[in-house]
Structure 1
Amino acid sequence: MLPEADELAEALLDLGVPYEDIDEAVRLSRRLPDDTEALRLLEETVRELVPETAGTGETGVAGRSATEGILGSIELPELPDAAGPHARYFPLYVFAAALPRARARHRARGIPEPVSRLTLADVGRCVALHRRRHGTGGVLNAGWPTLHFRGELYQLGRLQFQRTRIGGRTGDLLAAAGLPVGPGDPALALHVPDFMGPLTPGAVDRSLALAREFFPRHHPEEQYTVATCASWLLDPQFKRHLPGDSNIVRFQDRFRLGPPPAEPEDSVPVRFVFGTTDEPLDRLPRDTVLQRAVLDHLREGGHWFIGHGWLPL
C-alpha cells in the first residue's frame, strides 16, 4: 500500500525526487483512496514489480537466490487523464509503495546500503528529466527504474551496470575478437546517466573497478567477462569534432566498436545535450565544445548514430 503522507514524503526523498515535486506529489496522493481502480492497479503493479518471493528462494550464499535470473523491465500501467492530476504521478506512487520490497531484495543479496540508496534514487532523475523536458511534474520513461527495483541495474560510482544477455550484434563483435562468449551469455550493459558530473577517465576507472568487485560478490551465479554499451557517446564521428583528450573521446577509446547501424538517430544527442528536441537547431545554445560539435555536424549535412561496443572485464 502507498505510505501515509508523512512517510510518503520521506520515501520520495529516498528515491531522489526533487524537492519541488514532493509537495505536489504528496498533495495529489490524497486523491488515490477515492480512486478504487488506481488502488487496484497500484497493488497489482507493486506485486509484479517486486514479487514477495524475490531473493528468498533456494539459496547458496548468504540468502542470495540462485534461481532469480534476469527478469527484464516491465511497463507500468498509466491512469487515464480523466482520473485527475494525480495520474501524472502514478508511477511515482508505485515506486514509493514498492520501496520496502526493493530494499529487502537488495538486503537478501547483501547489497551495501549506499549502493542500494544511490541505485533506487535514479527514480528522482526520471522526475527531474520529465520537468526539464515537459515543464511539469511526472516520471519520464517510467519503465526504466523497474530494472533497479528488480535487481537488474546498479549505480556504481559514475556509471550504471545492467545485468543482461549478449545480443546478436554484440555477439558478432565478440566472435570476431575470438572470445568464447556469444548470444545469450551474461554481460553487463553499461549506462551513462545524466546529472552525475563529468565523464572523466578517473570516474570511469573507479566505476569499472567497483563493478569487477561487486558482481562476483553479489551475483556469483553469473559470470560476467564483458561489458557492452550502446550509446550516442560511442559514435566515432565525435573524434572529428572534439579534442583527442576530451572525456567522450577517451571514453570511446576504451571500447572495441562495431560498424554503425543503418539508421541514424539525430535526435538522440540533441535531446541529451540540450534537454529538448522541440527547439529549432539555430535557436539552441553554442556555449560548449560538445554543443557546437553536435550542431555543426548536423548543419554540415551529417547524421549521428548509436555506437555499439564492448570491453573486457
Structure 2
Amino acid sequence: MDAKALLRDHPDWLAHLEPLGGFDLAFPDDLPSELLRLTVPHEDVNAVLAARPQPGTPEWWLAERCAHSLVSTMGSLDDPPPFRPLPELGPYFYVYVFLATLPHTRRYHRELGVPEEVSWATFADLGRNMAVHRKRHGTGGLNAPQWFMLHARGLLFELGRLQFNRCRLGTRTGTAVRAAGLPVGPGGPALGVHIPDFHGPLTPEACDASFARARTFFPRHFPQERRHVMVCASWLLDDQLARYLPAGSNIVAFQRRFHLLHRLDDADTLGFVFGADAANPAALPRRTSLERGIADHLAAGGTWHGRVGWLRF
C-alpha cells in the first residue's frame, strides 16, 4: 500500500507531513540494549526487532516524516498534528519513530542542562506505555503513541513520582484561574501534571517531592517562562471517589491539593483501573477498595468522569 493511501482518512495530517521531506532514520547499533534501557518489556523486544521498517517501504516514508515532525517542533508549545492509530503498520511502528527521534531529544536536553537521570527517567515512559498496552489489551504494542510525542519533543519531564509538561492554559481553565485572582489567563504558560502507571504508590510524600522538584527544575531550565499555575486533568480528580475511599487514601490526598473545575466526559476510568478487565463492566473485579468503589458505583447506575484541577506553581 502507498504511504499516502494510509493517510487518506487524515488529510490534515498528510498535508502537514508531506512537505517535510525525508529524515535520517538512524537507529542504535545495539538496538536490543537500547530497548531495554528504555524499559521496553522483555516479552516485546524480539517482536520490536522483527518489525524494524525497511528503506523504500511505505513504513519508511511515513516514519521519516513523523520523526521530522517531532524534531522540527522540538521544545515548541505549538503542537503538530497528533499521531493517529495506523493498525496496518503493526503495533510497533511508532516505537521506531521515537527511537529515531530520541538522539535529537537527548541533544536538546543537554543544551538545556537537563541531568541525564531526568532524561532517562523521562524516556523510560516508552517502555512503560508498552506495558500499559499489554495491561489494557493483553497484546504487544504502544499505548496512545500521541502521548509520547510530548517526551520526544522535549516538553515533558519525569521528576520523581509525577511528570510535568510545559503547556498553555485552555479557555475554560484559564478563565477560572484568572477569576481566582492569578495574573494569567487563557493561553498563558502553565505546567501539566501527570501520574504515570507502574510507578508505586501515590503517597503525599512522593508527590511533595515531585512538586518541589518541578518548582526548581523549570525556572532553572526554562528561565524565560514565568509560570503561576499547574493543571491536571485526570480520572483521579473525580471527587466522587472520596465517597468510596478512606479519608486518608493517597488519591483523596492528591485531590485535595487542587482547586477542582469542570468535569471531563471521557476519562477512561475503567481502562486506567481495570485494564483488560474493563471490557466487561458487568463483571469487574473487586480486589481493592478502589475497584470495589468504582464497580459498585457503576452497578448502582452511576457514572465516572475526569476532572480538571489547578494549583499554584
Scaled to the shorter chain, the TM-score interval is 0.7 to 0.9
- Asked if 1:186 corresponds to 2:189, the answer is yes
Counterpart in the other structure of 1:9: 32
Name the aligned partner's letter for residue 280 of structure 2: P
Q: 1:22-70 deviations in whole A, cap 9, x for unaligned? A: 11111232xx32652222222222222113x95xxxxxxxxxxxxx541
Contact in 1 for aligned 2:183/2:228 (Cα 8 Å)? no
Contact in 2 for aligned 1:74/1:146 (Cα 8 Å)? no
Contact in 1 for aligned 2:123/2:151 (Cα 8 Å)? yes
Q: 5+ unaligned residues in a row in structure 2: which ranges?
A: 1-24
Counterpart in the other structure of 2:101: 98
Name the aligned partner's letter for residue 228 of structure 1: V
Counterpart in the other structure of 1:174: 177
Q: Give runs of aligned pairs for residues 280-299 of structure 1, distance below 5 A.
A: 280-299=280-299
Structure 2 distance, partners of 1:250, 1:308, is 16
Counterpart in the other structure of 1:40: 61
Structure 1 distance, partners of 2:225, 2:144, is 28
Counterpart in the other structure of 2:241: 238
Contact in 2 for aligned 1:15/1:124 (Cα 8 Å)? yes
Q: Give runs of aligned pairs for residues 119-158 of structure 1, distance below 5 A.
A: 119-158=122-161
> Per the alignment, in what secondary structure is the counterpart of residue 170 of structure 1?
helix
Counterpart in the other structure of 2:21: none
- The number of equivalent residue pairs is 289
Q: 5+ unaligned residues in a row in structure 1: which ranges?
A: 55-67
Rate the CA distance shift 1:76–1:202 in 2: closer, same or farther, 3 A: same
Tell me the TM-score normalized by structure 2: 0.86
Q: 1:228-280 deviations in whole A, cap 9, x for unaligned? A: 1111111111111111110011101111112435x4x4x72111110136532
Counterpart in the other structure of 1:64: none
Cα drift, residue 79 of structure 1: 5.5
Q: Give runs of aligned pairs for residues 160-239 of structure 1, distance below 5 A.
A: 160-239=163-242
Structure 2 distance, partners of 1:160, 1:289, is 26
Match of 1:254 among 254, 257, 262: 257
Counterpart in the other structure of 1:18: 41
Q: 1:129-163 deviations in whole A, cap 9, x for unaligned? A: 22222222211111110111111111111111011
Name the aligned partner's letter for residue 143 of structure 2: L
Q: 1:63-100 deviations in whole A, cap 9, x for unaligned? A: xxxxx54133643366663x6xxx32110111111121
Structure 2 distance, partners of 1:260, 1:127, is 28
Rate the CA distance shift 1:34–1:218 in 2: closer, same or farther, 3 A: closer
Structure 1 distance, partners of 2:219, 2:127, is 28
Name the aligned partner's letter for residue 33 of structure 1: Q
Structure 1 distance, partners of 2:84, 2:280, is 33
Tell me the TM-score normalized by structure 1: 0.86
Give me the CA root mean square deviation. Answer: 2.0
